[in-house]
Amino acid sequence: MAISDRPGGLTALAVLNGFFAMSSGAGALQRLVDESRIASFHAGELGERRWLRRRVEEMIDSGIDPGDLQILGVIGLVASVALAISVWGLLTRRKIAGGWGSTIGAIALVTVSVLAMNWLPPSILRGTGISIVRQLFYPLFMLFMVQIIFRKDLAR
């Protein structure tokens, strides 16, 4: 069996990117589903399930804009797809898929966090400021690693 010359850090980043791709994708889908439920509620097409109506009413009462949810969902999906591509790119040491996939994913993750902090009401955000700092840490760390530490390793 051939010994891989890929640095262990790239493998670790690929695993972490996979995890963040899944969590970002799940969050983005949730926002898109919420947006479509608000639209259904306004059209009078929401089902009779009581818990669902209560949740949608809570979101509407909090003054959330469905357009904002849609934008956050789309950017979250972009982050998720870019990070998923970067997993393959980092494992095969490809410059565009690994390096630029990670970079686009990181920028999209930062954008989602900052926009969510500005647009979403605290009752929906349900997080302290330090949790926003926590969300910003990984994308910035990943940018540093991919663009500085592993720059020469992603050469294909």
Binding of residue 115 to other proteins (CB under 8 A):
no
Contact, 72 vs 6, CB < 8 A?
Answer: no
Q: Please tell me whether residue 141 binds other proteins under the rule CB under 8 A.
A: yes
The single-letter code of the amino acid at 55 is: R
User: In one letter, which amino acid is 90?
Assistant: L
Nearer to other proteins, 16 or 46 (CB): 16
Convert residues 28-67 into a mask of x (bound to other proteins by CB under 8 A) and - (unbound).
----------------------------------------
- Of 84, 111, 108, 76, the C-alpha closest to 15 is 84
- Least distance from other proteins to the Cβ atom of residue 64, Å: 18
Three-state secondary structure call for residue 97: helix
Residues composing the chain: 156
Instruction: Examine residue 126 and tell whether it contacts other proteins (CB under 8 A).
Output: yes
Report the distance separating Cα 99 and Cα 154, nearest Å: 7
Q: Which residues bind other proteins (CB under 8 A)?
A: 7-9, 11-13, 16, 122, 126-131, 133-134, 137-138, 141, 145, 149-150
